[in-house]
Amino acid sequence: MADVCQKVTGQNEYTVDFDNDGYNIGRLATLEYQGRKTFISFSEVEIRSRNSSFQSFPSALSRYILDENQNKEICFYFHPDTTGNWETPYFIFMYRLMRTANVNFLNANEYLRSPITSFTSPEDIILHKDQMRSRNPGNRSTYLTRGPQNQLQIFGKTYGANKYETTILCLAISEIANTDVELYEIEEGGLTKLPQTSKDAIESLGVVHIFTSNRTIERIDFEENDSLRSVQYIYNLLEKLGDKKCALCECDIPQIIQGAHIWPVADIKRENHLTQDEKLNLALDGDNGLWLCNNHHKLLDSHIIKLFEDNTVKYKSSLNESQSNYLSEITTNNRLPENIVNESMSEYIVKRNRNIPVEEYADFIN
C-alpha cells in the first residue's frame, strides 16, 4: 500500500478503509488525493491460466469507467506476492489492450522485460491476435474483423476467460476505433450475455454497439431468410478457417470477403425429412462453408465455377476464351486449401452438386 501510495501521489501517509461488500469487484482499491480519484487493480496472486489471471480486472475497469468523478485514473499493480508466469504472449497482449484502454501500470518495469505499449489501430490488434492464434491454434476466443461496410466487428464469447477478453477488447477498441464497432455476443456455456457492468461500461463510451446472438434469434432468421446472415455461422467460420481470406484467390481484404455456404441454406430447407433443429445445425456448421471474395462467391453461386468432391474447382466449358482466361487469372487456387478440407466438407460438396444442372466443366490450367 505504501508503495502504491508513493507511486500515485508521491506521499507516504495514507489511511485505509476496507470495503468487503459485493462479489468480484476487481481486487480494487481507490485512492483519493487532492480531488483526484485513482482506481488501483491488483494482479491475482497466483497466475495460472488465462481464466484465473484476469477475472478481476474487467470489473475494476468497468467500475472506473462508470464512476461519475471526471478527475480520475485507473492503474494496475503487480502484487508483490505474485507467482507464476505473467509474461506469456497472451498476457502481454492483454496488458497492451489494457494500456490502450488508458490503464497506467504502476510497477510493470519491475515485472516485465519490456515496456507495455498501446495498440495504435484496430488493424494493429487484428494482426497481433492473428499471430497469437497461429502460434496457439487451440486458443479459441474472440475475433476481431471488418464487415462489408468497413465496420469493425467483434465476435465475443460470454463465458470464462473469453468474457474478460471481450470486455477489455471492447474498451480498448473504443479508444482507437475510427469507424462503427459492432459487438456480437456469442452464446457460450449457457451464457448469452456479458456481465451487466461490462455492458454498461462498454455502452457508456458510445463507440461499440452490442448485438446479442443466440439460438432463438438464429432460428427465426433461418426460418425467414434463405441467405442466412448468421452471426453464429460467421463465428464458426472464423473458428475453423481463421481470419477472412478467399479460398480460391487468397484475397484477404475483409470488407469483400463473405461466408459462402457449400450446401446452400435454400437446399437444406427443402430436406423435409429433417427437423428444424437439424436443418439449423447444417446451416450453421463451419464445415459447410468457405471464405470467398465477392467475385468468387458470385461465380460459385451462379455455377460459372463449380466445386468437385476431390476438392478441385473448375469452370464452365461454355465460357469464351477471354472469360476463361480472366477466371484463370483470378483463381490462383484451383483446389481448396489442404488445411481446410475434411470429410464433412466433401459431403457438403456432394450435396450441393446434387442440385446443380449437369453441364461440362473444364480444369483451370495453372
Residues of this chain that interact with Zn ion (CB under 5 A) are 246, 248-249, 251, 293, 296
CB of 123 to Zn ion, least distance (A): 21
CB of 85 to Zn ion, least distance (A): 41
* Integer Cα distance of 43 and 57 in angstroms: 8
Residues, the chain, total? Answer: 366
* Integer Cα distance of 47 and 83 in angstroms: 6
CB of 321 to Zn ion, least distance (A): 21
Query: How many C-beta atoms lie closer than 10 Å to residue 119's C-beta?
Result: 21
CB of 143 to Zn ion, least distance (A): 20
Q: What is the residue whose three cell numbers read 508521491?
A: 10
How remote is the C-alpha of 224 from its chain's centroid?
Answer: 27
CB of 168 to Zn ion, least distance (A): 34
Q: Which is nearer to Zn ion, 191 or 249 (CB)?
A: 249
Q: What is the residue whose three cell numbers read 485514473?
A: 73
Q: Which is nearer to Zn ion, 40 or 241 (CB)?
A: 241
Q: Which is nearer to Zn ion, 280 or 293 (CB)?
A: 293
Which among 118, 53, 125, 117 is positioned nearest to 91, based on CA atoms? 53
Q: What is the residue whose three cell numbers read 494482479?
A: 43
The residue type at 247: A
Q: Which is nearer to Zn ion, 28 or 248 (CB)?
A: 248
CB of 122 to Zn ion, least distance (A): 23
Phi first, then psi: give them for residue 208, nearest 5 degrees: -95, 130
CB of 294 to Zn ion, least distance (A): 8
Q: Which is nearer to Zn ion, 32 or 250 (CB)?
A: 250
* Integer Cα distance of 260 and 234 in angstroms: 10
The residue type at 183: L
Q: Which is nearer to Zn ion, 244 or 296 (CB)?
A: 296
Q: Which is nearer to Zn ion, 202 or 246 (CB)?
A: 246
CB of 319 to Zn ion, least distance (A): 17
CB of 343 to Zn ion, least distance (A): 24
Radius of gyration over every alpha carbon of the chain, rounded to an integer in angstroms: 25
E runs forming strands in 11-157: 28-33, 36-42, 72-77, 103-105, 143-146, 152-157
The residue type at 91: F
State the burial class of residue 109 (Cβ atoms within 10 Å of its Cβ: 0-12, 13-18, 19+): exposed
What's the order of all strands across the beta sheet hosting 72-77? Answer: 28-33, 36-42, 72-77, 103-105
* Integer Cα distance of 138 and 161 in angstroms: 14
Q: Which is nearer to Zn ion, 176 or 256 (CB)?
A: 256
Q: Which is nearer to Zn ion, 140 or 245 (CB)?
A: 245
